[in-house]
Amino acid sequence: MSKFRAVLVFMALVLALGLAVPAWASSASSTSSAARPSQYILPGDTVFPEGVAYQRKNGNFYVSSTTDGTIYRGNIRDETASVFLPGGADGRTSATGMKVDGKGRLFISGAGTGKMFVYDTANGALLGSFSNNLSNTFINDVIITPKDGAAYFTDSLSPFLYKVAKNAQGQLAFSVWLDFTGTAASYQPGFNINGIAASENGKYLIVVQSNTGKLFRIDIRTKTVTQIDLGGQALTNGDGILLRGHALYVVRNQQELIVKVRMSDNFLRGRVISSTTDPSFAFPTTIAAAQGRFLVVNSQFDKRGPGLTPELPFTVSSVHIP
DSSP 142-183: EEE-TTT--EEEEESSSSEEEEEEE-TTS-EEEEEEEE-TTS
User: What is the distance between the alpha carbons of residues 167 and 232, in angstroms, rounded to a whole number?
Assistant: 42
What would the mean pLDDT of 22-28 be, rounded to a whole number?
39
Domain containing 248: what range? 39-320
Based on the fold, state whether residues 242 and 298 are members of the same structural domain. yes
Query: Do 17 and 55 belong together in one domain?
Result: no
The number of beta carbons lying within 10 Å of the beta carbon of residue 311 is: 10
Which pLDDT band holds residue 320 (cuts at 50, 70, 90)? very high
* Among candidate residues 78, 138, 141, 75, the one with its CA nearest the CA of residue 111: 138
Residue 77 has pLDDT above 90, yes or no: yes
Nearest CA to 179 out of 194, 158, 152 is that of 158
The number of C-alpha atoms within 13 Å of 148 and in the hemisphere containing its C-beta is 15
Q: Which carries the bigger pLDDT value, residue 259 or residue 2?
A: 259
Identify the pLDDT of residue 192: 98
Are 142 and 260 found together in one domain?
A: yes
If asked whether residues 266 and 229 sit together in one domain, one would say: yes
pLDDT tier at 219, thresholds 50, 70, 90? very high
Percentage of residues in the chain with pLDDT exceeding 90?
A: 89
The separation between CA 299 and the C-alpha centre of its own chain, rounded to angstroms, equals 13
Asked whether residue 194 falls in the same domain as residue 132, the answer is yes
Q: What digits encode the pLDDT tens for the residues 235-288?
A: 999 999 999 999 999 999 999 999 999 999 999 999 999 999 999 999 999 999
238 and 89 in a single domain? The answer is: yes
SS3 of residue 74 by DSSP: strand
Total number of domains constituting the chain: 2
Q: Are 194 and 213 in contact (CB under 8 A)?
A: no
CATH number of the structural domain spanning residue 51: 2.120.10.30
Do 102 and 142 lie in one domain? The reply is yes
Grade residue 35 by pLDDT with cuts at 50, 70 and 90.
confident
Same domain, 28 and 45: no
199 vs 146: CA distance, rounded Å: 8
Q: Is there a single domain that holds both residue 4 and residue 138?
A: no
pTM, two decimals, is 0.89
Q: Are 218 and 207 in contact (CB under 8 A)?
A: yes
**DSSP β-ladder status, 293-298 and 284-290:** antiparallel
| Choice between 29 and 297, residue whose per-residue pLDDT is larger | 297
| Contact of 137 with 153, CB cutoff 8 Å | no
The overall average pLDDT reported for the chain is 92
DSSP of 212-279, one letter per residue? TTEEEEEETTT--EEE-B-TT---TTEEEEEEETTEEEEEETTTTEEEEEEEPTTSSBEEEEEEE--T
Residue 93 has pLDDT above 60, yes or no: yes
By residue count, the chain amounts to 322
Q: In terms of domains, do 234 and 167 share one?
A: yes
Query: Does residue 24 have a pLDDT over 50?
Result: no
pLDDT in the model for residue 171:
95
Checking if the pLDDT of 5 tops 50, the result is no
pLDDT tens digits, 103-133: 999 999 999 999 999 999 999 999 999 999 9
Give the mean pLDDT of 221-243. Answer: 98
Indicate if 63 and 25 belong to the same structural domain. Answer: no
The answer on 166 and 20 residing in a single domain is no
- DSSP-derived 3-state class of residue 101: coil
pLDDT band of residue 147 (cuts 50, 70, 90) is confident
Over range 136-142, report the average pLDDT.
98
